[in-house]
Amino acid sequence: MKPLKALIFDSYYDEYRGVILYVRIFSGTLKKGDEIKMMATNSNGLALEIGKLQPQMTPYNEMSAGEIGYIVTNLKTTREAKVGDTVTLQKAPASKPLPGYKNVQPFVYAGFFPVSNEDYQDLKDAIEKLSLSDSALQFEPENSPVLGFGVRIGFLGLLHMDIIRERLEREYDLDLVITNPSTDYHVLLSSGEEIDIKSAADLPDMSLVAEIREPWIKGEIVVPQDYVGAVIQLIVSKRGLQKNLSYIDERVLISFEAPLANLLTDFYDQLKSVTSGYGSFNYDLWSYQVHDLVRVDFYVAGEIIDALGIMCHRSESQKIGREITAKLKEVIPRQNFQVALQAAIGGKFIARENLSAYRKDVTIGLYGGDVSRKKKVLAKQKRGKKRMKKFGNVEIPSEAFTVMLKRD
């Protein structure tokens, strides 16, 4: 008799019954009460209930090869039984799992912070509940001097991130601030040690860095022939390289390579815009390549804001620095003193915008007399603003972090 081999093609967490697996049995027989084992994760469980989908869940005592059904297990989280894994029996395990399983790793990261720090525990509890039914979701606590306590979450892609954000806002009624999504970078230090960083704030001092490798993707875009030129121009603007052009009836398949980081913000929106909604986009992570990457830091009133820092190619750094400082000027409220908004690479400033101060007309009521009276009052106001600038604090609104998600 052949050993049991069942492919998990879906799973979810039920609050009352635990983890439920949807499986197709390729060989062997599964009975209710059997002790089962997941071959990729080495997790052991118990088949508390098995059945078939007809289409509703109908309990059976036994399932055999060729049948599609479900298994109610005693597992506590879907991380123990991932999609693509092979289920076998503990007593008579299969020698080899079914081919095709690939352990998925997140490669898009973003910080999720509650608007009010009082909601941090609610955010953490909500993400833990979502992770019970989403084995690809990875998260860790994060603390920002500006945004307070939050969570850095790893996603499989931008669509995955949007789904989690929508669920947190709709199902758990949370008001969130989401930082600029980034990917992971492989950093080789001068000492020979290699580290993996998930945000610009984690990058060590550049004097200690030998090289930085960024992830590149292989992508395919299908568009009508009329939009080919606009799409290729968009790819080139994202540091992409066109590799192939294939004509399929009235459509064109454009194959290209590009750095993943440049596609994270608004590439999909721009693609839909230049193709009038007809363009479709698909990509796979390809490799990590060495490029001249730098960290662009942003300063508000002379104080560095870690949550705003980004990684980019040196050739794009000045353009991005000017764009973001200009957008920060629009969303940060004016103060009673002048506020400098600056972008810098290391200790060198590459862009600056000045947020002008509110100014009260202190000369009102001074009619006639010597002009030195007005100069004296204005000089006093100037000294007060200088003192205010030295000791004043600038409160950064949550909108300042959302401008990073949209670039011109």
* CATH classification at residue 310: 3.30.70.2570
Helices (H) and strands (E) in the chain, counts: 7, 25
- Secondary structure of residue 266 in the 3-state scheme: coil
- The reply to whether 296 and 406 lie within a common domain is yes
257 and 269, same domain (yes or no): yes
Using alpha carbons only, how large is the chain's radius of gyration in Å? 28
Q: Has this prediction a pTM greater than 0.75?
A: no
Residue 199 lies in a domain: no
* 306 shares a domain with 391: yes
| 300, 282: one domain | no
Question: Domain of 48: which CATH number?
Answer: 2.40.30.10
| Same domain membership, residue 270 and residue 312 | no
| Structure token pair of residue 41 | 């994760």
DSSP-based three-state secondary structure for 349 = strand
312 and 404 belong to one structural domain: yes
Q: Which residues, 6 or more positions from 60, have their beta carbon under 8 angstroms from its beta carbon?
A: 32, 50, 51, 52, 69
Residues 280 and 320 occupy one common structural domain: no
234 domain-assigned: yes
**Quick one: 321 and 216 in the same domain?**
no
* Statement to judge: residues 283 and 237 lie in one domain: yes
Identify whether residues 251 and 314 lie together within a single domain: no
Last residue of a domain, one of 266, 290, 314: 290
Residue where a domain terminates, one of 134, 160, 178: 178
Asked if the structure places residue 187 within a domain, the reply is no
Together in a domain, 239 and 308: no
pLDDT value of position 5: 93
Q: Does a structural domain hold residue 196?
A: no
Give Cβ neighbours of residue 279 (< 8 Å, ≥ 6 apart): 221, 222, 223, 227, 231, 271, 272
Are residues 372 and 309 part of one domain?
yes
Q: Per the structure, how many domains does the chain have?
A: 4
pLDDT value, residue 181: 82
Q: Which domain does 272 fall in, by range?
A: 212-290
Tens-level pLDDT at each residue, the chain (408 residues) = 789 999 998 888 888 888 899 999 999 999 999 999 999 888 899 999 999 988 888 999 999 999 999 999 998 888 788 888 899 999 988 888 888 777 777 888 888 988 888 899 999 989 988 887 777 788 888 887 777 889 999 888 778 888 898 999 999 999 888 887 888 899 999 998 999 988 888 889 888 999 999 999 999 999 999 999 999 999 999 999 999 999 988 899 999 999 998 888 778 888 999 999 999 988 888 899 999 999 999 998 888 888 788 899 999 999 999 998 998 888 888 877 788 899 999 889 999 999 887 766 656 666 666 677 777 766 776 666 555 444 456 767 766 776 666 555
Which of 54, 89, 124 is the last residue in one of the domains? 89
